[in-house]
Structure 1
Amino acid sequence: MEPTVPAVSREKPNSVAPYRLTEVLLCAAATVAGGLLYGRFFAGTEYLPPVCAAALTGTASAAVAGWRRWRTYSTLLVAIGGFVVLAGYGVFRGTIEHGLPTRQTAAEIVQGVLGGWARMLAVAPPADPGADLLITPVLITWATAFTASTLVLRTRTVFVPVLPALLAFAAALLFVGRQPGVQVTATALVLGAALALVLLRAGRTGGEPSRVTAGRLAFGAPVVVVVTLAGVLGGLYLPPASGAHRFDLRALLPPPVRGTDMLTPLAGLKGQLRAEPPRRLFTVRLDGGARVDRIGVAALDAFDGVSWTSADRFLVAGHHLAVDPAMTRSRTVSARFEVEDLDGPFLPVTGRPARLDIDGDAGQPIGFSAASGVLVSTAPALHEVRYDLVGEVADRDDGLLRASPSAAPEYTALPGGLPPVLDALARQLTATGTTPYGKLVAIEEHLRGLPYQLDAQPGHSYAALTRLLTGSGEGYAEQHASAFAVLARAAGFPARVAVGYRLGDSPTGTHTVTTRDAHAWAEVRFDGYGWVVFEPTGMPTGSGELPDDPAAAEELPEPPAVPPPPAADRQDKAVRPRSDRHGVLGDAALVTGVAMGVAALVVTSILAMKARRRRRHRHAPGNAARVAGAWQEAVDRLTERGIPMPASLTAHEVADRATSVLGAAADPVVRLAPLTTAAVYAPDEPDDRAVEQAWQLEAELRRRLYPRRLSWRRLSAGVDPRPLVAGRRAAGERRRDDRGNKVIT
């Protein structure tokens, strides 16, 4: 607890000027550390000058106001005026004419202050450092520097001046999200500066230096060093350093870019291959004689037993695109795409895209998924679109013989109902391999040996794959790619299905792609390689339509190495900097009292909102609304267990889905569904007995989901914000529903 002291210092400025100056400089250093974190949000270092200028000018403005003892309103005018000048001439300088701000300058500043944060959460890092994105970090940095320096000069409190810098640091982490890596400089700077500031203010007695002060400083300095070092090491080596375990505010917001509604791209594969005459789609020119045998458009990572779909969330793409941290063994391929007539929304890419430059104005925002590396447009069709793309391509080389599959449980899941014959075949084929790569090649070669038949019945469900693998074996790329992914997942490998186009040989490096080149294949994720291509579709009889077999020379159990690429391709390899030691601070660096306070505030807010939501449901006007409220609470409990329930599902469909996941534990939902349907759609209001029964069923569901009153799963469900987010989204959908349909609220 801090000692009780006056809020405003009465010390003579000259007697403590060196100490005050040191404290102000420490505030500036801690503020700059928060600005450095944006290096993992922006591409390049162009963001640094305006952010550092905000820290320095904010600190200087506060120092002038503090030492001159200006009154509160004068200090506020200096703060606001200083920021406006910095924003106009430092951020929106493109709107300045003849050295003077314009009306556009004012409009841009207002729009940036009010909506810049939302824009930052809508783009995919690393983002281009445009003025509309820079304004928010500049505002946060300016406010932090000015506030912290003012508290240093006008108060004697020990810990309060540190709070603005720590809050700004936490805000920067929210904007950065799940970008991998730890920024060592920022970690050391914020921890060292903040702790040194606390130590210096706690060590001063009566405003004068003394032996007691010197002793405190001598004792506290090693503590500052040790805590700073612990924070840096924790950020480097604890799980959050990878970015996978971090909280990302973007996951709670609706995706800003949504492609046009369409079936799974696999469903359109046969139609493209059957098109007569073949339709010309796009042209791709590979630079430097690069060797690439396929162009990807979509990555499908979710399988429900019937079809492969994508669970991607797309953010607005800039010129620079997030790299895959798992790809450390890859080569860089540059390509020029000229799209003539391609069905949307997917854009063709080479490997994992790293940079995108579209000619002129694309007309529609381009979305990018950092999880899959897929690019989409909101346009239903792509015509006359030209762009340059740099991608990272992982080749199948001899290093795969020793590589390990990535630990990615989200890519190994299969829905219930896996036919025993598929499970048995997966075990049989992988039993002969001695390495993970060898096991996958065994599955690949088995599927390549099946007859290729484009006239086979379309579809890639469990039933279609069972027909393929136990019947005549006739199928084409749709079934073969899906079969490989299912068998690989059944064997425990992270696999997905990719859809795109094949490239033939071209002496000039220019390829004209038509509908006849449409293709699908499978990919498996390996440490160091990212997503590695496996080709499970064999050569059609009497045809040369499919690409060369990438595993034709391999023999199990130890497949020999694929020959190294030609010298021209080796020259394309880029030495990519490692990101696991540089970048964003891990969550461990926020293990401070302020961060714990912020976390407690967030938890308290969630609990309060959920309690208010429950009271509103329990005491809604009318018995029908109260029964519907009990149903909504039951749906919230299912949402907390990770069972998504779209608002479009009926009550009985919700009950069926809950039963398929929870089994007997979902029996209260099954019994509650007809009560809810009757309450909402029946002409008469339900009686009090029906209301009481509905809430008893909701309570029974909670007891079945969490039999133990004190358990980690029960506690985590209590603070899970997903029901609140889903409720807001459903409310928005109901407001947009202009058909007058009666819905369960």
Structure 2
Amino acid sequence: MNRDTLFRLAEVAMCAVATIATGLLYGRFFASLGYLPAVCVAALVGALVAAVTGLRRWRMSLTLLLAVAGFAVVAVYGVFRSTLYFGLPTWNTASQLARGVLDGWVRMLLVAPPADTQADLLITPVLITWIAAFTAATLALRTRSVLAPIAPALVAFALALLYLGKQPGIHLTATILFLAAGLSLMLLRTIRVGAWSERDQRTMTSRLVFGVPAVVVIAVPAVLYGQVSPLASGEQRFDPRTLRPPPVRIIDTLTPLATLKGQLREEPPRRLFTVRVDGQERLDRIRVAALNQFDGVSWASTDQFLIAGRQLAADPAMTKSRTVSARVEIEDLSGPFLPAIGWPDRLDIAQSDENPVGFSTTSGVLVSTLRSLRGVTYDVAGEVTDRDDGLFRATPTTTPEYRGNTELPGDMPPLLRALAQQLTATEPTPYGKLLAIEEHLRGLPYGLEGLSGHSYAALVRLLTRTSVGNAEQNASAFAVLARSAGFPARVAVGYRLGERSGDSYVVTTHDAHAWAEVHFDDYGWVAFEPTDMSQGGSGSSDRPTTAPRPAEAPVAQPPADVRPPPTAPRPGNNQREGLLEAAFVAAGPMALLVLLMLTILGLKARRRRRRRRARGNAARVMGAWQEAADRLIERGIPTSGSLTASEIAVHATGTLGNAANPLVEMVPLATMAVYARDEPDDDDVYRAWQLESQLRRQLYPGRFSVRRLRARLDPRPVIAGWRQARQPGESPR
């Protein structure tokens, strides 16, 4: 096995490693590492098939046929093993494989990450990985381009990021591995393509000594920049799921908040469902819906639901929590919302393609598409906020994805804004301000005989005590007052859990309830109880206590002079801010790229000017020859100092054909400049530079072309000049 074959195999290995790095990204998409073996096998076998066919120089038709067969084997035995019959593929195997290849990429955009490792989801990463590894290795073995083999892995990397969407994290391991493999691949190809002569052993060594540190110098700043970039949090990342209609749609013309009073007045109360809690955990409520949009008349939800798997996406801002597991058995509950504990992160429920279960990754709400929930049973585990003294020091979440939870319509009555300012003025902490609003609302009269509704008008009646209210109005009032004070708040609809009987809570229509929630860093959505339920049940809460407050709660009065409320932000503001932030993120790399391009152009222009003005006609003739050699380097033709001018010209003619004729005519002038006793005359200098200009025109006939621009920006002549300057004793090229 000669040195060239070893380099080719090393390049194939780097193609496989770079492609495996793209496969590591799917660890944020799948809930477990069960996907990884199939993806790694696809990368390794794809590169191996390309290596066998490329080294033997098989025809492309036969190569593609073998590639398709190889992918089929990997897909059948690595993805669809469950469809085999005694180790042999069946008709079901073929149909599922065909459906997975055609529809798998769409299926991945319909589920909520992290997803279960299912065959119909796994087939797409395996296919992308296979194509990337096979194409990259084929380009490495069949082309001379330095950059082409890394392009397939780069495309696969970008596709994986698209499928991840807004999943948080910087993918450190995958990024480091991809950069190291990709840059090493380019280094190996630069050495192999450039050092075509066996006499270039010293050149190869010097290139390795120079290239390996360069790989580190490029990779380390790139990784560090990725860690501090605003895109690392996932908030401003592009998610293709937002461009598609939601796969799970619910038809609910009536906000669940409006059904609250009707359930409370049912006589006798109707049993809805039973909650069986694991362990000794005690719960006081269970949520079914979260309403985050208020138009001044009613609260609604803007949730979009993706298909839920067993593992559900967690709230990344929720770090101080405990896990509570329960089994929910529904007896007579209207859909589409499914009761859930805290922020659900695991779900075990029977579902099908016709009737999937939807999950909102922005609110933690579960929905079903079944027409009736009667008899539905499922296991659910959720993260419940740990209420501790740290809440007094906690800060509300201010990231862009929660800014929509602070918006209010512009026609908000001045009375509400003035009351919010009055209640929160003396409290130093955010949590204390919210407790002040909560305690004020708990001091209002409670009753079911008041008017229904939770519009601005209903809230004014409640706060001026011209009408009694219930949980519907109190929860809405809290959310409006909290948003007026700048807090990300929403209204939650669900049920109170009363006395526990053994390990179960029995929920009836008389337990229907609504409350408000505010999102805090580290704590997630924290529940606030603005309704005094002492007349209808226990109003206990496990929130931290504070110092006693005045017994007399203030009564809201219309203010004499209040400034008009500011106009609610337009929906496009968040998009505009996101675009500006994305532009700012891209400005850094773009500025560095422009600076690098200008530096390369400046160095080339300065060196050309210095060569033309060198002392002595011999040095000027050699300057023209060196400029011509730089043009060859830009075309990927090696010009090592160990080669004579004639050898360089012969090799250039074999590659460029007649376009290299000016270089052939320049050989006698360069040889005379080095070995002749007398200095060349001015005519020889003029002729040498004239031939150099003619060579440039024949290499790039058009005045404006992409190839000409790429040659002008090619840094290889500059790097070759630096390398030659560190090797005294070699004759100039």
TM-score class, shorter: 0.7 to 0.9
- Answer whether contact 1:55 1:141 (CA < 8 A) is retained: yes
- Which residue in the other structure is 2:196 paired with? 207
Cα distance in 1 for residues equivalent to 2:47 and 2:587: 24
- Answer whether contact 2:281 2:324 (CA < 8 A) is retained: yes
Q: Deviations over 1:604-657 (max 9, x none)?
A: xxxxxxxxxxxxxxxxxxxxxxxxxxxxxxxxxxxxxxxxxxxxxxxxxxxxxx
For the pair 1:547 / 2:536, whether they are aligned, the reply is no
Taking a change above 3 Å as real, the CA distance of residues 258 and 590 of structure 1, as seen in their structure-2 partners, is farther
- Answer whether contact 1:35 1:141 (CA < 8 A) is retained: yes
Cα distance in 2 for residues equivalent to 1:589 and 1:225: 22
1:299 is paired with a residue whose SS is: strand
Taking a change above 3 Å as real, the CA distance of residues 142 and 362 of structure 1, as seen in their structure-2 partners, is closer
1:289 is paired with a residue whose SS is: coil
The letter for the 2-side match of 1:29 is V
The letter for the 2-side match of 1:280 is R
Matches within 5 A, 1:292-691: 292-359=283-350, 364-407=355-398, 408-472=402-466, 474-506=468-500, 508-540=502-534, 543-550=535-542, 553-555=545-547
Cα distance in 2 for residues equivalent to 1:197 and 1:163: 11
For the pair 1:269 / 2:257, whether they are aligned, the reply is no
Q: Deviations over 1:364-413 (max 9, x none)?
A: 20000000000001123311011111100003210101110000311111
Taking a change above 3 Å as real, the CA distance of residues 499 and 485 of structure 1, as seen in their structure-2 partners, is same
Q: Deviations over 1:79-138 (max 9, x none)?
A: 111011111111111121132211211111111111000000000100001000010000
- Which residue in the other structure is 1:63 paired with? 51
- Answer whether contact 1:260 1:378 (CA < 8 A) is retained: no
Structure 1, unmatched stretches of 5+, are 1-12, 559-586, 597-745
Once the two structures are overlaid, the 10-residue window that deviates more, 358-367 or 150-159, is 358-367
- Which residue in the other structure is 1:147 paired with? 135
Cα distance in 1 for residues equivalent to 2:203 and 2:513: 77
Taking a change above 3 Å as real, the CA distance of residues 165 and 551 of structure 1, as seen in their structure-2 partners, is closer
The letter for the 1-side match of 2:531 is T
The letter for the 2-side match of 1:116 is G
- Which residue in the other structure is 1:22 paired with? 10
1:223 is paired with a residue whose SS is: helix
- Which residue in the other structure is 2:30 paired with? 42
1:525 is paired with a residue whose SS is: strand
The letter for the 2-side match of 1:495 is A
- Which residue in the other structure is 1:727 paired with? none
Q: Deviations over 1:722-741 (max 9, x none)?
A: xxxxxxxxxxxxxxxxxxxx
1:283 is paired with a residue whose SS is: strand
Cα distance in 2 for residues equivalent to 1:418 and 1:226: 56
- Which residue in the other structure is 2:101 paired with? 113
Cα distance in 2 for residues equivalent to 1:346 and 1:263: 13
- Which residue in the other structure is 2:122 paired with? 134
- Answer whether contact 1:367 1:375 (CA < 8 A) is retained: yes
- Which residue in the other structure is 1:162 paired with? 150
**Structure 1 stretches (4+) deviating beyond 4 angstroms?**
359-363, 549-553, 587-593
TM-score of the superposition, structure 2-length normalised?
0.73
Taking a change above 3 Å as real, the CA distance of residues 591 and 110 of structure 1, as seen in their structure-2 partners, is farther
- Answer whether contact 1:299 1:374 (CA < 8 A) is retained: yes
* Alpha-carbon offset, residue 555 of structure 1: 2.5
* Alpha-carbon offset, residue 429 of structure 1: 0.3
Of 92, 104, 110, which aligns to 2:92?
104
Cα distance in 2 for residues equivalent to 1:589 and 1:30: 24
Root-mean-square deviation over aligned CA pairs: 2.1
The letter for the 1-side match of 2:356 is P
Taking a change above 3 Å as real, the CA distance of residues 220 and 293 of structure 1, as seen in their structure-2 partners, is same
- Answer whether contact 1:235 1:589 (CA < 8 A) is retained: no
Cα distance in 1 for residues equivalent to 2:587 and 2:313: 24
- Answer whether contact 2:387 2:544 (CA < 8 A) is retained: no
The letter for the 1-side match of 2:295 is D
- Answer whether contact 1:188 1:228 (CA < 8 A) is retained: yes
Cα distance in 2 for residues equivalent to 1:250 and 1:360: 21
The letter for the 2-side match of 1:105 is T
Taking a change above 3 Å as real, the CA distance of residues 90 and 514 of structure 1, as seen in their structure-2 partners, is same
Q: Deviations over 1:425-478 (max 9, x none)?
A: 000000121100000000000000001111110111111111111133520000
* Alpha-carbon offset, residue 198 of structure 1: 1.1
- Which residue in the other structure is 1:91 paired with? 79
- Which residue in the other structure is 1:671 paired with? none
* Alpha-carbon offset, residue 235 of structure 1: 2.5
- Answer whether contact 1:293 1:547 (CA < 8 A) is retained: no
2:289 is paired with a residue whose SS is: strand
* Alpha-carbon offset, residue 536 of structure 1: 0.2
Q: Percent identity?
A: 62
- Answer whether contact 1:235 1:588 (CA < 8 A) is retained: no
- Answer whether contact 1:441 1:551 (CA < 8 A) is retained: no
Of 147, 166, 173, which aligns to 2:161?
173
For the pair 1:80 / 2:71, whether they are aligned, the reply is no
1:341 is paired with a residue whose SS is: coil
- Which residue in the other structure is 1:240 paired with? 231
* Alpha-carbon offset, residue 262 of structure 1: 2.9
Cα distance in 2 for residues equivalent to 1:326 and 1:410: 16
Structure showing greater radius of gyration is 2
Cα distance in 2 for residues equivalent to 1:271 and 1:398: 38
1:384 is paired with a residue whose SS is: coil
The letter for the 1-side match of 2:237 is R
- Answer whether contact 1:35 1:137 (CA < 8 A) is retained: yes
Cα distance in 1 for residues equivalent to 2:281 and 2:545: 22
Q: Deviations over 1:220-260 (max 9, x none)?
A: 32221132222322222211111111000000000000113
2:486 is paired with a residue whose SS is: coil
Cα distance in 2 for residues equivalent to 1:455 and 1:517: 17
Of 280, 287, 307, which aligns to 1:289?
280
The letter for the 2-side match of 1:157 is S
Cα distance in 2 for residues equivalent to 1:82 and 1:15: 29
Count of aligned pairs between the two proteins: 552
Cα distance in 1 for residues equivalent to 2:16 and 2:22: 10
* Alpha-carbon offset, residue 360 of structure 1: 7.5
* Alpha-carbon offset, residue 172 of structure 1: 0.3
- State the structure with bigger RCO (CA 8 A, min sep 6), 1 or 2: 1
2:376 is paired with a residue whose SS is: strand
- Which residue in the other structure is 1:624 paired with? none
The letter for the 2-side match of 1:89 is Y
1:388 is paired with a residue whose SS is: strand
Cα distance in 2 for residues equivalent to 1:359 and 1:169: 34
1:56 is paired with a residue whose SS is: helix
- Answer whether contact 1:504 1:547 (CA < 8 A) is retained: no
Taking a change above 3 Å as real, the CA distance of residues 556 and 74 of structure 1, as seen in their structure-2 partners, is farther
Q: Deviations over 1:490-513 (max 9, x none)?
A: 000000000000001215231010
